Structure formats: C-alpha cells, structure tokens
Structure 1
Amino acid sequence: MRLRLRHAIAAAAVVVPLALAPTAAQAAPTSCSTGPEGGNGSYAVCTRGTGSYRAMVQCRQWFWPNYYYINYGPWQVPSNPVKSIANCNFGDSRQLYTVDLS
C-alpha cells in the first residue's frame, strides 16, 4: 500500500508541472514599443506574439503629499495592434512608463 502511494505521489509530481507549463498559445506579446503620450501619459503597442498588453504609467500627484500612483490603459492584442494609452489625472505628472504584458 505504501509503495502504491509513493508511486502515485511521484507520478503527480511529474504530471502537475507539465500541465502547468506554458504553451505557445500562452506566450507573451513581443516586438513592443512604448513612449510618452501627450504631456502626462504613455502608450504601448505590440505587433507579434499572443496574449495581451496594455500601457502603464506611474504618476505623481501635483499637490501635497505628492502621492505616487499607477494608471493602466485598456488591454489590446497583437493580432490587432492598437495603441493602449494610459494617462495621469489632470495636473499630475508622468514619472515613468512601460508596457504590462499578460
């Protein structure tokens, strides 16, 4: 009985990681570009791969205590490459920007 249990545990240890391994359909987008958009926003666009992408911008509040926060643009897909645009709130400043991949 104990031997069967050990074999079952060993088999599960091999099968579970294989089932969770990423496949080609789960690959992240590639060929991405990002940059500033207007005075306080950013854009992101990816043209290859699968999955989705969106713009991300870190902003700084213009009034005290000058909090930092992050805004995101809408999710897009590389099969229909459209700019995802994220903006800071009016009057706040863009600190950094990047692309968020899924």
Structure 2
Amino acid sequence: ANNFAMKGKRKTLNASDVLSAMEEMEFQRFITPLKEALEAYRREQKGKKEASEQKKKDKDKKTDSEEQDKSRDEDNDEDEERLEEEDQNEEEEVDN
C-alpha cells in the first residue's frame, strides 16, 4: 500500500492503496467484504455528519430565537421605564 501511495507521489495511504496492495498480494477473497465494510462505514459517517450539521442548525435557530426574545424583552423594559418616567413627570406637574 505504501508503494502505491509513493507511486502516486503521496505520503498518505488511502483505501484504494490498501485494496490495490491486497489485490496484488492475491487476497481477492478479502477485497469484496472490505469494500462493503468501507462503504457501510462511509455511509455511517455521512449520516453522523448530516445529523451533526442539522443539530447545529437547530441550535443556531434556537439561539437566534432566544436573542430576538431577549431583544424584545429589553425593548419592553425600556418602554416601561419611559412610561414610568412620564408618569412621574406628570405627577410632579400636578403637584406644582
């Protein structure tokens, strides 16, 4: 497998290097099960990645929603404070 990688001018081995080496060493009976296992592994990893991305999107949506709620709460608090000040000013005017 290392020789196949070196021929490809790569330092990293990949699955095709290993499978080619096994074929060259006449281990054909292992190649098909290994390919099937590799495909199953890749599908599983793809599913995990997609689930992780979906979870991240859901989290981002939740965070955005919470930020909007917080912003609305802050706006409401500011409105309440302004109304209280106006009430106090009106009371002061009535007292005068």
Provide the TM-score with structure 2 as the length reference: 0.30
Of the two, which has the highest radius of gyration?
Answer: 2
Normalised by the length of structure 1, the TM-score is: 0.29
Higher strand share: 1
Greater RCO structure (CA 8 Å; 6+ sep): 1
